[in-house]
Amino acid sequence: MNAAHDAPPRTSLPFDAATAGADSAALAPFPNSRKVYIEGSRPDIRVPMREIWQSPTPGSFGGEANPPLFVYDTSGPYTDPMAAIDLRRGLPTPRLPWIVERGDTEALPGPSSAYGRARLDDPALAALRFALQRPPRRARPGRNVTQMHYARQGIVTPEMEFVALRENLRRKEYLASLAESGPVGARMAALLGRQHPGQSFGASIPPEVTPEFVRQEVARGRAIIPANINHPEVEPMIIGRNFLVKVNANIGNSAVSSSIGEEVDKMTWAIRWGADNVMDLSTGKHIHETREWIIRNSPVPIGTVPIYQALEKVGGKAEELSWEIYRDTLIEQAEQGVDYFTIHAGVRLAFVPMTARRLTGIVSRGGAIMAKWCLAHHRESFLYTHFEEICDIMKAYDVSFSLGDGLRPGAIYDANDEAQLAELKTLGELTQRAWKHDVQTMIEGPGHVPLHLIRENMDLQLEQCSEAPFYTLGPLTTDIAPGYDHITSGIGAATIGWYGTAMLCYVTPKEHLGLPDRDDVRDGIITYKIAAHAADLAKGHPGAQMRDNALSKARFEFRWADQFNLGLDPDKARLFHDATLPKESAKVAHFCSMCGPQFCSMKITQEVRAYAEQGMQEKALEFVRGGATLYREL
Amino acid sequence: MNAAHDAPPRTSLPFDAATAGADSAALAPFPNSRKVYIEGSRPDIRVPMREIWQSPTPGSFGGEANPPLFVYDTSGPYTDPMAAIDLRRGLPTPRLPWIVERGDTEALPGPSSAYGRARLDDPALAALRFALQRPPRRARPGRNVTQMHYARQGIVTPEMEFVALRENLRRKEYLASLAESGPVGARMAALLGRQHPGQSFGASIPPEVTPEFVRQEVARGRAIIPANINHPEVEPMIIGRNFLVKVNANIGNSAVSSSIGEEVDKMTWAIRWGADNVMDLSTGKHIHETREWIIRNSPVPIGTVPIYQALEKVGGKAEELSWEIYRDTLIEQAEQGVDYFTIHAGVRLAFVPMTARRLTGIVSRGGAIMAKWCLAHHRESFLYTHFEEICDIMKAYDVSFSLGDGLRPGAIYDANDEAQLAELKTLGELTQRAWKHDVQTMIEGPGHVPLHLIRENMDLQLEQCSEAPFYTLGPLTTDIAPGYDHITSGIGAATIGWYGTAMLCYVTPKEHLGLPDRDDVRDGIITYKIAAHAADLAKGHPGAQMRDNALSKARFEFRWADQFNLGLDPDKARLFHDATLPKESAKVAHFCSMCGPQFCSMKITQEVRAYAEQGMQEKALEFVRGGATLYREL
């Protein structure tokens, strides 16, 4: 039994930097799996994947060996038993040489934000502070260090090559080597590689992702690689409609609950289950210090909503926010290594009254804060008026925009209304302005939307934002199931992912009710991995069906352990199976507790297949003579 | 706190008919709810609904009273504190007078099936047997007692009127009386009644369901009312694409697990959470006796797959099945009151070899059994060759066909293949033959289907089966998440429900892994209630959005208890909320643990609304002068 499932929840002792340790549940390797690294064109491009071994097919079904399967792995070094994990030192920094050798950045003497310096100089924070030895970096004056900028110069960066290798999952080499291994391998390759043609609504998914394809997609803004130069720990990933659909998990403390240690644990737990990105939405104490711990230990891109912290700095009074405070916050966070900022620059003064007749008004926190500021001053949003200056900051660190949908609907009632669509159009204008600065940009989307109105959201977004990646929260397809909003929204997420959304922001069962705990985070992520994968299958993403094929083959052949291990959550599958049939002998039994030994249709099917393949009439006679019965022993 | 959540699981003592008692968790009324009955054109038409009371809007939001909401209620008398529940006596029989007064049926001296008589005469079964005092009924010779037959004669039966009242949920009267109660009520009626126009793919959903509309839909086969004349306990419901999407829950023991008492408990538990129908798929011991207990205590229609029991009778040897044994089983079960039979008559001999190249062959148990029989005898299926005689039995008791999809795909790999579509076409032919006998018919559908291939299933079914109601299992949109197949399939269920499927067969988290327990049943049903409701919203079913509107209004106004109580699972919503903020005072707090008091966007929105409504500039000045801060107290 894997340790992950049984690990007790961590206790909420006061956080102490000197003794901070990793969550043991996040460190356990997955069953029958090992971390492998694919080397790129240079030895320091090492792309992680997870290899899952399978057992041979039982002799009664053919007895062939089943090849290991490679799956996308977001968990970073944590699940690698060879890696030495020490939260106090942070993760290795594979990107650092790539950043330095480009020669367009410089190490700063220290944080250049006033707030960053103040926090560093505050001795009261010593026990909480991550001991970062590395100074922050920034673009040299006049330089632009975004992946989009490089792409537009025709440069294929190591980051681009990395994501190309990562998206392909060695599929071509894997199937070729299988096919060359002999007739059994060739049959296996044909079976595993078979896939339904997809329906992609105008996406341009290539049969294989090349580094040059990545460059083109980033250059034209149809994909982003969130990778701040101050986050050299990151294993690059790509977000775009022509790539695998990604999943974002939100973590973060609030004034009511949670500590630094718990937030780091939530991050390692979230990436274990497959979160491609993590947003730190903390609004409570020690936001700055919490963020540092998370980034230094995160192999996935980290996003934030800087207005939350800016509001803390003015004691929660929205009307006291100013461009200067906000600007300092952007620089503070950019120098820590935040990879993308949610910025609600589309909440313009003129749109605010459009929300007055809504059932649930403005449900985005950032949107509500900005609306309040606009009204209090009766002025245009400073995020909108200072957008050019924001772009200047973004391109000095390669922080990507996640243009926030501050006016997203918070109820089915409010879906696709005037306010929402006015903001979306503005986000399209801002996308063009960001692209003039070569700043990578994605667009946030709703919210609460009934199934039949989801398509309109996607179509308008593609058109008005020129195919900049869409990044949606759900959408929730009904309001009536508090406690199950991972499901109300998972339905919408799969649907909008199919239509073309590039990244899905998860929703946990606790949505609308409370802060998610570990179980909620896991449920939320697995639900969204399902939605993302269902979308990949529907779009016809090359190779997406391979894991389905392998798992179904294992299921059909009663390879129970393989069925568990190939799934998204091996621990839960095993636990559920063992709830009825706990004995190890049941793991090789040719039946399960759903039907019992006598009625197993899979078993019957195998007999049918034998007949069909060997000539029906002849076998029928033989069968009746033999008086064969179905499998009955337990 | 509602008792339902905390009720311990029932213990598995040997079942004893003399002491059988109802599950206390199924008897608890829902919070702030009461069972109400709407009287029809005659006093014995009493249509159950659940009324949920709401608290008034807090004064700071307007202070208005919020009207109670009426929701569809499948739980039968169990949640009615005025009802005397005694499992040993069974439920009241509201349909009995309607059946008797039609004068086309006769009471039999006893069971007319050989097996039914044998079970009745076996003294060893005394301790298990339900003590039914009522003899079985059957159509008088030459008479046809199906709802479809009556409908085609132009007769509106009490059952038809019942379902019409039930589908409408008093919506028209409710909104009219609200609107007439004054300006506040009128505003409330406008708000609650507002709904997005739907997209229904050619459905013909009326603004209000009349008994005559029900008759027309049943007459043309586009809807069925499963209502065996031997199940007078049933509260009639309707299945059709122009009505609310329904949910079926499967229960049933197997050779490995479960007793009679547990199965009855599963039924009462399933209907508590919203199962519209229940299928008893038992394959273990005492199938006959278990079924009797379930039917006598079930207010919802019960379906079965008679081939399971027929196979038991021949010791599990499929090749020893015969039409005679099967026929006796149909009569045995029809006289107990089973409302619909899954019959895999579309698994024809010629289709079986089409499954040989599949990845997972035949995964339907019934389909596999029949395939094996066909091959063993090299003969056409006796279900197909005796279809006319089956129709004669169905119409003598008004058992509805659920034409089984024995060749449904069991893996994404096998979706929409030749075998599946050949069977579907045959089911269309059989539908026409059943309709010639005026036998009510629905069609079962897949299975495992990727999102983009679901539409083809629905379109073909509508065309080839002439809009007979489609009844699908999921479909599962990916194979890679054992342990979460309620979600992989909930996505597909919502989608196919939107396209026109009339009833969704639930899948629990234990699918593929083991027999569902109580938690699994609840998770499965709530997931499918979400899918069905998401489909109703997308189709634009009149009034479907009312519950969403009411719940979102409660959410926006921080009426926490109302938000819980209006949801599909009030117990879980409350539990989740209380996990972070257990104090009763937090139930009226204007914030939740997700954001804490300072950041609540809902609170900010209310302030925004006040500005927008009172003139923006003036309020802005006033606000700055007053130095207003956000709500901060805990």
Task: Please report the DSSP string for B451-502 in residue order.
Answer: GGGHHHHHHHHHHHTTTPPEEEE--BS-SS-TT-HHHHHHHHHHHHHHHT-S
A538 touches chain B (CB under 8 A): yes
Cα–Cα nearest to A200, from A545, A406, A497: A497
Q: Are strands A46-52 and A33-39 parallel, antiparallel or unpaired?
A: antiparallel
Q: Residues 6 or more apart from A355 whose CB is under 8 A from it?
A: A361, A362, A371, A407, A419, B605, B608, B609, B612
pLDDT of residue B595: 54
Mean pLDDT across the stretch B171-195?
A: 95
CB-closest option in A376, A450, A608 to B352: A608
CA–CA separation, A123 and A140 (whole Å):
31
pLDDT per residue over B100-126, tens digit each? 999 999 999 999 999 999 999 999 999
pLDDT of residue A13: 56
* Contact between A380 and B619 (Cβ < 8 Å): no
Q: Is the predicted pLDDT of residue A292 greater than 80, yes or no?
A: yes
* Contact between A558 and A602 (Cβ < 8 Å): yes
pLDDT of residue B580: 78
Q: By 3-state DSSP, what share of chain B in percent is helix, strand and coil, each rounded to 5?
A: 45, 10, 45
Contact B609 A355 (CB under 8 A): yes
Q: Residues 6 or more apart from B323 whose CB is under 8 A from it?
A: B382, B385, B386, B389
A494 touches chain B (CB under 8 A): yes
pLDDT per residue over A105-123, tens digit each? 999 999 999 999 999 999 9
Q: What residues pair up with B35 in beta bridges, in sequence order?
A: B50
A364 annotated ligand-binding residue: yes
B296 touches chain A (CB under 8 A): no
Q: In a 3-state reduction of DSSP, which class is residue B71?
A: strand
Cβ atoms within 10 Å, residue A627: 9
- Write out the E strands in B102-245: 105-107, 137-139, 223-224, 239-240
pLDDT of residue B588: 64
B555 annotated ligand-binding residue: no
* Contact between B242 and B230 (Cβ < 8 Å): no
Chain B residues closer than 8 Å to A514 by CB: 576-577, 579-581, 592-594
HSE-up of residue A219 (Cα within 13 Å, Cβ side) = 14
Q: Is the predicted pLDDT of residue B594 greater than 60, yes or no?
A: no
State percent of chain A over pLDDT 70.
Answer: 89
Cα–Cα nearest to A53, from A71, A36, A67: A67
CB-closest option in B367, B378, B537 to A617: B378
Q: H or E element: which one contains B280?
A: strand B277-280
Category of A73 on φ-ψ map: left (φ > 0), alpha (ψ -120 to 50) or beta: beta
Q: Are strands B239-240 and B223-224 parallel, antiparallel or unpaired?
A: antiparallel
pLDDT of residue A613: 62
Task: Please report the DSSP string for B7-20 in residue order.
Answer: PPPPP-PPP-TTT-
Measured between CA atoms, how close is B49 to chain A, in angstroms?
17
* Contact between B551 and B567 (Cβ < 8 Å): yes
pLDDT of residue B599: 56
pLDDT per residue over A427-479, tens digit each? 999 999 999 999 999 999 999 999 999 999 999 999 999 999 999 999 999 99
Q: In a 3-state reduction of DSSP, which class is residue A3?
A: helix
pLDDT of residue B602: 66
Question: At B81, phi and psi to the nearest 5?
Answer: -65, -20
Q: What residues pair up with A34 in beta bridges, in sequence order?
A: A51
A-B interface: how many C-beta pairs under 8 angstroms? 479
Chain B residues closer than 8 Å to A527 by CB: 484, 487
Q: Residues 6 or more apart from B615 whose CB is under 8 A from it?
A: none
> Crossing angle for the helix pair A518-539 and A260-272, nearest 10 degrees?
30
Contact B375 A608 (CB under 8 A): yes
Question: At A201, phi and psi to the nearest 5?
Answer: 55, 40
CA–CA separation, A14 and A24 (whole Å):
19
State percent of chain B over pLDDT 90.
Answer: 78
* Contact between A493 and A474 (Cβ < 8 Å): yes
Contact B412 A569 (CB under 8 A): no
What is the DSSP-derived secondary structure letter of residue A60? G
pLDDT of residue A588: 64
B428 annotated ligand-binding residue: no
Contact B410 A566 (CB under 8 A): no
Q: How confident is the model at residue A483 (pLDDT cuts 50, 70, 90)?
A: very high
SS (H, E, C) A63-111: CCCCCCEEEECCCHHHHCCCCCCCCCCCCCCCCHHHHHHCCCEEECCCC
pLDDT of residue A167: 98
B430 touches chain A (CB under 8 A): no
Q: Is the predicted pLDDT of residue A627 greater than 70, yes or no?
A: no
CA–CA separation, B409 and B478 (whole Å):
12
pLDDT per residue over B130-142, tens digit each? 998 899 999 999 9
Average pLDDT, chain B: 91
Q: How confident is the model at residue A574 (pLDDT cuts 50, 70, 90)?
A: very high
pLDDT per residue over A165-214, tens digit each? 999 999 999 999 999 999 999 999 999 999 999 999 999 999 999 999 99
Chain A residues closer than 8 Å to B378 by CB: 616-617, 620
Average pLDDT, chain A: 91
| Closest Cα in chain A to B529 | A481
Touching A: B residues 567-606, CB under 8 Å: 567-569, 572-573, 575-577, 579-581, 592-602, 604-606
State percent of chain B over pLDDT 70.
Answer: 90
Q: Is the predicted pLDDT of residue A90 greater than 70, yes or no?
A: yes
Q: What residues pair up with A279 in beta bridges, in sequence order?
A: A250, A303
CA–CA separation, A506 and A486 (whole Å):
7
pLDDT per residue over B363-386, tens digit each? 999 999 999 999 889 999 999 999
A275 touches chain B (CB under 8 A): no
| Top-confidence residue, B607 or B471 | B471
| Top-confidence residue, A75 or B598 | A75
pLDDT per residue over B441-478, tens digit each? 999 999 999 999 999 999 999 999 999 999 999 999 99
A552 touches chain B (CB under 8 A): yes
Contact B481 A199 (CB under 8 A): no
A215 annotated ligand-binding residue: no
Chain A residues closer than 8 Å to B353 by CB: 612, 616
pLDDT of residue B601: 67
Q: H or E element: which one contains A292?
A: helix A287-296
Distance of CA B66 to the CA centre of its chain: 29
A187 touches chain B (CB under 8 A): no
Category of A154 on φ-ψ map: left (φ > 0), alpha (ψ -120 to 50) or beta: left
My answer on whether omega of the bond before A103 falls inside 30° of 0, hence cis, is: no
* Contact between B198 and A452 (Cβ < 8 Å): yes
